[in-house]
């Protein structure tokens, strides 16, 4: 499937150091889809200001480009969380993209399809298709967007972290058409309070149920989508962030992935806060420490912010 070449939608960015945003549809024809007029995309705003996107049928990436003076040539795909039931599109998407752009990184917020048998032939691969297509699109348009194709990473929050880790471990299992054989492996990954495992006792049952359906705790697919069990020496380096008191996704998810990376000889850095819970995006209010600065330092050390 060729990347969509439709005219993109532009509007003015109000964030300093960030050029105009650009919305890019991922496909001309969405693969693995079932046409229906019943399901339409919805956006809701919660009392706490979170903007939730549901029922995505037209996946896209929204680009936040850094100013020419700050651009490093590095890019990152951002996967918001939401338990594979919705996307927290601002706190775990656009806010993060603006922060990256301000620090010279081209950031692409991925609006990926959420598993739903009513709109997908195979809902278990829908989100991964969109993540792989996002990486493919950015690599194939790297020259146009002034991006180094060897410095394209992925970041995910919560269930978006599961998607980011799946993209980091299943890049050889191509679930999209890729006629140019474009490399689908992210060059680095950043996983923030991520869902990693679908097996007990670590599994986030809501994310597992949404993606795989019921009664999958001991199934082959649960193992297949438990990222700590899919790590190899080819898995990209990772930065992991979690909180010890996370009651939604146990911190043991990040620890299991870190240990798997260590066993495979893959470089990784992990930061565990004593408190913070789950779903805080860029700002853990229980600490004066700013994890995003630590992440940027890790990226500098890895050579991704030259």
Say which residues have a Cβ less than 8 Å from residue 134's Cβ, sequence separation at least 6.
Answer: 26, 61, 77, 108, 110, 112
| Average pLDDT of span 153-172 | 98
What pLDDT is attached to residue 216?
57
In a domain, 306, yes or no: no
Q: How many domains does the chain have?
A: 1
pLDDT at 9 over 70: no
- Share of residues in the chain with pLDDT > 90 (%): 89
Q: Please say whether the beta carbons of 81 and 160 come within 8 A.
A: yes
Encoding tokens for residue 184? 């689908």
In a domain, 217, yes or no: yes
What pLDDT digit, counting tens, does each position of 38-85 carry?
999 999 999 999 999 999 999 999 999 999 999 999 999 999 999 999
Query: Strand, coil or helix: what is 250?
Result: coil
In a domain, 2, yes or no: no
What pLDDT is attached to residue 21?
84
What pLDDT digit, counting tens, does each position of 199-237 carry?
999 999 999 999 999 865 557 789 999 999 999 999 999
| Average pLDDT of span 150-174 | 98
What pLDDT is attached to residue 77?
98
In a domain, 149, yes or no: yes
Instruction: Tell me the residue ranges of DSSP E strands in 26-116.
Output: 42-45, 51-54, 60-64, 75-79, 87-88, 106-111
Q: How many CB atoms lie within 10 A of CB 35?
A: 8
What pLDDT is attached to residue 303?
96
What pLDDT is attached to residue 74?
98
CA–CA dist 144, 287 (Å, integer): 40
In a domain, 3, yes or no: no
In a domain, 1, yes or no: no
Pick the closest to residue 222 from 237, 236, 212 (CA basis). 212
CA–CA dist 260, 265 (Å, integer): 9
In a domain, 4, yes or no: no
| Residue-number span of the structural domain to which 183 is assigned | 9-301
Q: CATH code at 245?
A: 3.40.50.1820
- Give how far Cα 204 sits from Cα of 11, 80, 126, 208, 256, Å: 37, 16, 19, 6, 14
In a domain, 172, yes or no: yes
What pLDDT is attached to residue 97?
98
CA–CA dist 132, 79 (Å, integer): 12
């Amino acid at each position: 499937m060729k990347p969509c070449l439709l005219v993109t939608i532009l509007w003015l960015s109000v964030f300093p150091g960030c050029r105009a945003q650009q919305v890019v549809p991922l496909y001309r024809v969405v693969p693995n889809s079932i046409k229906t007029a019943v399901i339409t995309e919805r956006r809701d705003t919660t009392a706490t200001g979170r903007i939730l996107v549901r029922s995505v049928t037209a996946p896209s990436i929204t680009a936040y480009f850094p100013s020419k003076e700050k651009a490093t040539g590095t890019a990152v795909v951002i996967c918001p969380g939401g338990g594979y039931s919705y996307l927290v599109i601002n706190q775990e998407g656009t806010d993060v993209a603006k922060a990256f752009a301000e620090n010279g990184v081209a950031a692409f917020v991925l609006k990926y399809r959420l598993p739903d048998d009513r709109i997908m032939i195979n809902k278990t691969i829908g989100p991964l298709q969109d993540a792989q297509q996002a990486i493919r699109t950015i690599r194939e348009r790297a020259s146009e967007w002034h991006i180094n194709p060897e410095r394209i990473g992925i970041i995910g929050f919560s269930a978006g972290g599961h998607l980011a880790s799946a993209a980091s471990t299943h890049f050889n299992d191509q679930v999209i058409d890729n006629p140019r054989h474009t490399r689908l492996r992210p060059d680095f990954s950043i996983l923030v309070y991520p869902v990693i495992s679908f097996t007990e006792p670590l599994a986030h049952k809501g994310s597992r149920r949404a993606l795989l359906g019921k009664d999958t705790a001991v199934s082959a697919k649960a193992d297949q989508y438990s990222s700590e069990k899919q790590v190899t020496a080819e898995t990209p380096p990772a930065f992991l962030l979690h909180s010890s008191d996370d009651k939604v996704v146990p911190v043991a998810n990040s620890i299991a992935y870190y240990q798997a990376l260590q066993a495979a000889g893959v470089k990784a850095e992990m930061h565990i806060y004593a408190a913070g819970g789950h779903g805080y995006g860029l700002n853990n209010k229980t600490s004066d420490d700013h994890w995003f600065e630590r992440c940027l330092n890790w990226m500098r050390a890895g050579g991704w912010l030259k």
